Amino acid sequence: MAVLNWDHTMINVQDVDQAARFFGNYGILFSRGGRHEKWGTENALGYFGLNYIELISVYDEARAKNFSRADASAVYDAVQDYEQKQQRINTIAIRTSDIEATHKRLKKAGVNAGDIEVGKRLDEQGQLITWSIFFINDTIDGLPYPFFIQWQGCDESREQKLTEQGLIVQHTAGDLQVRQAIFKVADPEKAAGIWGQLLETRPERTDTGYRIPLHDRQLIFEQGPENHMVQLNFDGAGDQLKQQTVVLDHIKFSFK
């Protein structure tokens, strides 16, 4: 059975450098990741251990128009938000220890999963970073699905390498850890049920909706009109950010 974990959160922005500077002013550190030549997109990454946030935007509008949502749903959605000048949280990537087994299980369950592909980008040092990935082409009443990814090497070796590269760092704002994703959806029971099947985890009923535990993190589904992920909740903030909420357009980071 494949081990699943919350790998990263994709956030759609107009300009990755401007967004990185905005969050950097609050002590939340991002560095340039690189470019996805295939899609015409680029990113900046902020690491919180192996879990990270990807700020994604378009650098080549012609290339960004050359693929459909069926090719790479989350990236397509990022391009659409870029064109509509909208900044918001996109979806999350789920890290799997066996992408072939995960893909086979979801296809057998009738999930509209695309083919497994090799993703790649050049980092700022010109090194080629590769991974295996597949997207799910549907939505749940407009709510994007997660996508699934498998990196080369084990988690321990990746974490050590990212630390040596200076990508996993202590944030000025504190020992930050992303603990919860908040989804506002029309039907929390339905959305949580489908995500629970994807993640092989039974949703738990709460006073305000449903919760899916994912190791030491949680996905929270509550009633709301957005049909989207709207907020990330962090632990470990220092005095500067404790009990504060940082907002960039429709992007909300809440700190404990």
Number of other residues whose CB lies within 10 A of the CB of residue 248: 16
Write down the pLDDT at residue 104.
Answer: 97
Select the CATH number that applies to the domain covering 4-255 from these four: 3.30.360.10, 3.40.50.300, 3.10.180.10, 3.30.1490.110: 3.10.180.10
- Contact in structure between 168 and 162 (CB atoms under 8 Å): yes
Write down the pLDDT at residue 169.
Answer: 94
Q: What are the residues facing 233 on neighbouring strands? A: 180, 254
Residues in the chain: 256
Write down the pLDDT at residue 124.
Answer: 66
Q: How far apart are CA 252 and CA 23, in angstroms?
A: 11
Write down the pLDDT at residue 219.
Answer: 98
The 10 Å CB-count burial string (b at 16+, else e) for 72-89 is bbbbbbbbebbeeeebbb
Residue by residue, what is the 3-state secondary structure of the chain? CCCEEEEEEEEECCCHHHHHHHHHCCCCCCEEEEEECCCCEEEEEEEECCEEEEEEEECCHHHHCCCCCCCCHHHHHHHHHHHCCCCEEEEEEEEECCHHHHHHHHHHCCCCECCCEEEEEEECCCCEEEEEEECECCEECCEECCEEEEECCCHHHHHHHHHHCCCCCCECCEEEEEEEEEEEECCHHHHHHHHHHHHCCCCEECCCEEEEEECCEEEEEEECCCCEEEEEEEEEECCCCCCCEEEECCEEEEEC
Write down the pLDDT at residue 26.
Answer: 97
Token pair 């999963």 in the structure block, residue? 113
Write out pLDDT tens, residues 154-165.
899 999 989 998
Q: In order along the chain (256 residues), what is the average pLDDT of each group of 10 residues?
A: 96 98 97 92 97 98 95 97 98 97 97 91 72 95 97 90 92 97 98 98 97 97 97 96 97 96
Write down the pLDDT at residue 120.
Answer: 74
Q: CA 37: distance to chain centroid? A: 19
Token pair belonging to 63: 């290339």
* Of the candidates 228, 250, 237, 232, the residue with the CA atom closest to the CA atom of residue 179: 232
Write down the pLDDT at residue 217.
Answer: 98
- Domain locations in the chain as residue ranges: 4-255
Write out pLDDT tens, residues 38-92.
999 999 999 999 999 999 999 999 999 999 999 999 999 999 999 999 999 999 9
Instruction: Read off φ and ψ for residue 190, nearest 5 degrees.
Output: -65, -50
Strand order of the β-sheet with 217-223 is 204-205, 209-214, 217-223, 174-185, 228-237, 251-255, 245-248
